[in-house]
Structure 1
Amino acid sequence: MKEPKQTPIEDLAELRSYFASHNSIREYIAHSSKVHSVGWSCDGRRLASGSYDKNVAIFTLERNRLSQDYLFRGHTGSVDQLCWHASHPDLLSTASGDKSVRIWDTRTHKCAAIIATKGENINIAWSPNGSTIAVGNKEDLVSFIDTRTYKVVVEEQFNFEVNEISWNLSSDLFYLTNGLGCVHILTYPSLELQTVLKAHPGTCICVEHDPTGRYFATGSADALVSLWDVHELACLRVFSRLEWPVRTLSFSFDGRLLASASEDHIIDIGDTETGEKVAEIPVSASTFTVAWHPSRYLVAFACEDKDPPERKRDAGNLKLWGLPNSSS
């Protein structure tokens, strides 16, 4: 059962007022080492986190709090990125440095498939139609996995630094960002290069599509976030409030809000329609993963926090922001 969608707030002043009374942060211990990736299931009932400790933690959201449900063990290397199935709320994919992709079933608490890949994997993207998982490794090789057979059906070796990968909403275009500040858009499944966008002067680190299919955003080493029109391939506006390389992006369920994070001690929440700041989340360390809830104005994120008192060991915590201030 999907969580009922929060009613989108149209007015910028109303959005700001909403977050002025919904800016509480809750912190949860999830791992014994740094959290690399967080993501929500499509129905919004579960949150997963992948960590350097090789484990995948599954939390259940009950109104305004998370409770840990299960810990998936099996990877023998760091879990660098995870991605849920876009319409199946129990299926989760993870990319690991152990040269494998794993599919987990949160209903049965079992690993449903292990797919061997050629290198240490650093990013993963499940096509919105559910048919294909793309995984990229440290050697800039992208492998495409057919989810009916759980076999690699095609591999594409790129001769430039591939940083992050994403699908468009109709799953027929595949996007990747590179070290030269460009976004390459390829047709799928033919993998013919359709266009190259010069998006940033610096390394283009991340790319994210919004859930409504109107926009995609890119984040760069130049500390800028660019918002693009999917159909026109035109840059609509640039967000320039961060001062460090942009590491991670996430759109709210209605496409209205864009969260961007870096080594800055804030996560910026910007309005996609005007580019203006709606809110900011205070953090005390670099943030490498953020994820808006698929039907509520809630953000899950993880930072490179250190455990007190010596602050030498990485804390494996994840956080939830956007909770009502008076919640118990």
Structure 2
Amino acid sequence: MYAERIEKLQNHFKSNNKFKEYIGHSAKVHSVGWSCDGKRLASGSFDKSVSIYTLDRERLNKETTFKGHGGSVDQLCWHQTHSDLLSTASGDKSVRIWDTRMQKCVATINTKGENINITWAPNGDTIAVGNKEDLVTFIDARTHKIKSEEQYNFEVNEISWNNTSDLFFLTNGQGCIHILSYPDLELQHVLKAHPGTCICIEFDPTGKYFATGSADALVSLWDINELACQRVFTRMDWPVRTISFSHDGQLLASASEDLIIDIAFVETGDKIADISVDAATFTVAWHPSRYFLAYACDDKDTYDRKRDAGSLKVWGFQSD
């Protein structure tokens, strides 16, 4: 049933496996993400800045750099239907919202701690940000006011809403996924997902699955309605830091300190392709309508090995 599709995808990437590299920062890139229309790619860095690139058919062009954060930009996420709006979480105890059309920061929301992760509800109403002290702050995306704060007594790693914005998910240090109703934040389920810390979580665009990456080097795929684990992806040897579903929900990219990024076929776990990298990978993100994968590694400068390269790469361009 899937053999034909798997072969077709494998063949696609045999002839579309070129990457292009862009130097946008003076220190390592922590987070990359595409705007919902796929026209822009953003990167957030340890150098406190956010770079915006525009995608023009087969190349990226640097459009602008946003400065203003006083600390490392650890994670960013775009509004899921408004292609100009981007939010960033920083170690400077603030969240910023940027408008790429006006090319400026339109809101700064001060929070209690050093922020490490951020997610924007798919309906656009709320931004949630988590800090190093496991406090999650919910921000009204229209008024830019804090709606509520929730303190957890366990290590909160990544946070995310489901695609309908009525359930809120947290991954934690005990290998569990906590599922809360939203907006009332009542605990609905605790899934024991992994023996090791649950690091990242991602929802597939079709609304069928979510996946989590763990310190045990595994990625688990869950049926969102049954809350049952469908399969486990086992090709990594190191803690899985970052995962991303392709626009059609067929592919799942996973990355870690392994020197490859794994591209798996979601329905069977078969390997479709892999991307060789030179260092640990912090962030991966599929384009919202094409088979382009943006990613950033802990690369060092070619000439000065003590310096970070500050680069990001996009893979999936046609090979010559």
Q: CA deviation at 1:277?
A: 0.5
CA distance in 1, matches of 2:228, 2:4: 23
3-state DSSP of counterpart to 1:16: helix
3-state DSSP of counterpart to 2:290: coil
| Correspondence for 1:123 | 117
TM-score (norm 1): 0.96
CA distance in 2, matches of 1:30, 1:211: 28
CA distance in 1, matches of 2:4, 2:215: 31
Q: CA deviation at 1:122?
A: 0.1
Q: CA deviation at 1:310?
A: 3.3
| Correspondence for 1:281 | 275
| Correspondence for 1:45 | 39
CA distance in 2, matches of 1:200, 1:325: 38
Q: CA deviation at 1:309?
A: 2.4
| Correspondence for 2:303 | 309
| Correspondence for 2:291 | 297
1:233-274 CA-partner distances (Å, limit 9, x unpaired): 010000000000000000000000000000000000000011
CA distance in 2, matches of 1:117, 1:216: 29
| Correspondence for 1:74 | 68
3-state DSSP of counterpart to 1:31: coil
3-state DSSP of counterpart to 1:103: strand
| Correspondence for 2:312 | 318
Percent identity, please. 72
| Correspondence for 1:226 | 220
3-state DSSP of counterpart to 2:258: coil
CA distance in 2, matches of 1:100, 1:318: 24
CA distance in 1, matches of 2:8, 2:214: 30
Paired AA for residue 156 in structure 1? E
Paired AA for residue 229 in structure 2? C
CA distance in 2, matches of 1:120, 1:44: 30
3-state DSSP of counterpart to 2:13: helix
| Correspondence for 1:140 | 134
Alignment of 1:179-190 (within 5 A): 179-190=173-184
Paired AA for residue 323 in structure 1? F
| Correspondence for 2:88 | 94
Paired AA for residue 134 in structure 1? A
| Correspondence for 1:6 | none
Query: Which blocks of at least 5 consecutive residues in structure 2 are unaligned?
Result: none
1:201-242 CA-partner distances (Å, limit 9, x unpaired): 001111111111111000000000000111110100000000
CA distance in 2, matches of 1:38, 1:48: 6
Q: CA deviation at 1:10?
A: 7.1
CA distance in 2, matches of 1:63, 1:184: 40
Paired AA for residue 221 in structure 1? A
Paired AA for residue 297 in structure 2? C
Paired AA for residue 85 in structure 2? L
| Correspondence for 1:162 | 156
3-state DSSP of counterpart to 1:11: helix
| Correspondence for 1:104 | 98
TM-score (norm 2): 0.98
CA distance in 1, matches of 2:219, 2:57: 32
Q: CA deviation at 1:308?
A: 1.8
| Correspondence for 1:64 | 58
- Match status 1:196 vs 2:190: yes
| Correspondence for 1:172 | 166
C-alpha spacing 1:10/1:188, structure 2 compared with 1 (3 Å): farther
| 1:250 maps to which of 244, 255, 261 | 244
**What is the root-mean-square deviation in Å for CA atoms of aligned residues?**
0.9
CA distance in 2, matches of 1:32, 1:262: 22
1:149-187 CA-partner distances (Å, limit 9, x unpaired): 101100000000001011100001000100000000001
CA distance in 2, matches of 1:166, 1:295: 21
1:85-115 CA-partner distances (Å, limit 9, x unpaired): 0000000000000000000000010111000
Q: How many residues align?
A: 318
User: Which of structure 1's runs of 4+ aligned residues deviate more than 6 A?
Assistant: none
CA distance in 2, matches of 1:36, 1:100: 17
CA distance in 2, matches of 1:130, 1:60: 23
Moved more, 10-19 or 289-298: 10-19
| Correspondence for 1:5 | none
- Match status 1:85 vs 2:90: no
3-state DSSP of counterpart to 1:301: strand
3-state DSSP of counterpart to 2:11: helix
CA distance in 2, matches of 1:174, 1:315: 35
Alignment of 1:255-274 (within 5 A): 255-274=249-268
